[in-house]
Amino acid sequence: MIAPYSTAIPESNLLSRWEVRHKLIGLMALIFSFSFIRELRLLPLVILVSVVIYSLSQLSFAYYWSRIRLPGLFLLMLALILPFSAGNTVLASFGPLALKLEGTLSVLLIAVKFLCIFAIVLVLFAGTPLQKIVGALRSLGLPALLAEMLIFTNRYIYQLITDLRQTQVATGLRGFKGRSVKALKPLAYIVGTLLVRSHNQSERVFQAMTLRGYGEESLVLKAEQVQIFDRLALAAALLLATGFVFLQLNFFPAS
C-alpha cells in the first residue's frame, strides 16, 4: 500500500539533476500558472507543456495511472454533478436530468488543469528526495521548527505504519474484524494506543538525541552547487508560467 519514499526518476535524468530550489520555484510557478488558466482554448498548450515535462522525467504512464486513481475520485464526482447542475444552455435531456453546456465546459477546464498539474506534481516529488525538498524549503524561508518536524515525521511514519500493521495482524488473530459498528471502540483503542506509544517513544528519542548534541543548533542542510543549467531551466519554467498568465490576461480577459 505505502512504499517507503523513494525517487522514481533515475539520478541521471535532467530533472533529477536540476538543483532543488530552482526546481521547486520553477515547477510551482508553472503549477500556479496552470491554475490561473480559465480559457478552454489555452488548454492544448497546457497539455503540451505537461506532456513534454512528464516525458523528460522518464516516468511511465503506468506510474501516472497508479497515482491518479485516489485523487481522481473527487474529479469523477465533480464530473457527474456539475454538467447537470451548472448553466442554462441545455445540450441534451435524459428524463429529469438536463446536460448543460456551461457545466460540461467547467468540468472540462477543471479536469484538464487537474490532470496536468498532477503530472507536474509527480515530476516534482518523484524526482527529489524529501531531505533535499525540506532543505530547499528551509533555504527559501521555511521556519526551522517546521523543517525539523518534516524530517522527524517522515522518519517515523514508516515505523508507525509497520507497528500499526502488526497490531492489526495481532488483533485479527484474536478475532477482531473491524467491519461493524461494534469495531469503533477497539479501533479507538488502537488509535489511542498508537498515540501513547508514539509519545513514549518520543521521550526516548529526545533523550537519545540530547546525548548526541541535539538542541545546540538547528538542522544544518547542505546547499547544492548551482550550475548554469539550473538557472536556464528556472528561466524557462518562469517564462512559460509568465507566458500562460500573459496569454490569459491579454487575449482572453473575459473568461
Smallest distance from another protein to CB 19, Å: 19
Residue 251 interacts with another protein (CB under 8 A): yes or no: no
Task: Kindly state the helix (H) or strand (E) to which residue 93 belongs, with its residue range.
Answer: strand 90-94
Residue 98 interacts with another protein (CB under 8 A): yes or no: no
DSSP codes, 60-71: -HHHHHHHHTTT
Residue 184 interacts with another protein (CB under 8 A): yes or no: yes
Please identify which residue in 12, 88, 93, 250 interacts with another protein, judged by CB under 8 A: 88
Please give the residues from 189 up to 248 whose contact with another protein meets the rule CB under 8 A: 189-203, 205-206, 209, 214-215, 218
Give the count of residues interacting with another protein (CB under 8 A): 97
Please give the residues from 18 up to 77 whose contact with another protein meets the rule CB under 8 A: 28, 31-32, 34-36, 38, 67-68, 70-71, 74-75
CB 106 within 8 A of CB 79: no
The Cα–Cα gap between 179 and 29 comes to: 44
Closest CA to 66 of 12, 3, 15: 3
Please give the residues from 112 up to 151 whose contact with another protein meets the rule CB under 8 A: 112-118, 121-122, 125, 130, 133, 143, 145-146, 148-150
Task: Kindly state the helix (H) or strand (E) to which residue 92 belongs, with its residue range.
Answer: strand 90-94
The Cα–Cα gap between 153 and 130 comes to: 11
Residue 174 or 222 having the CB closest to another protein: 174
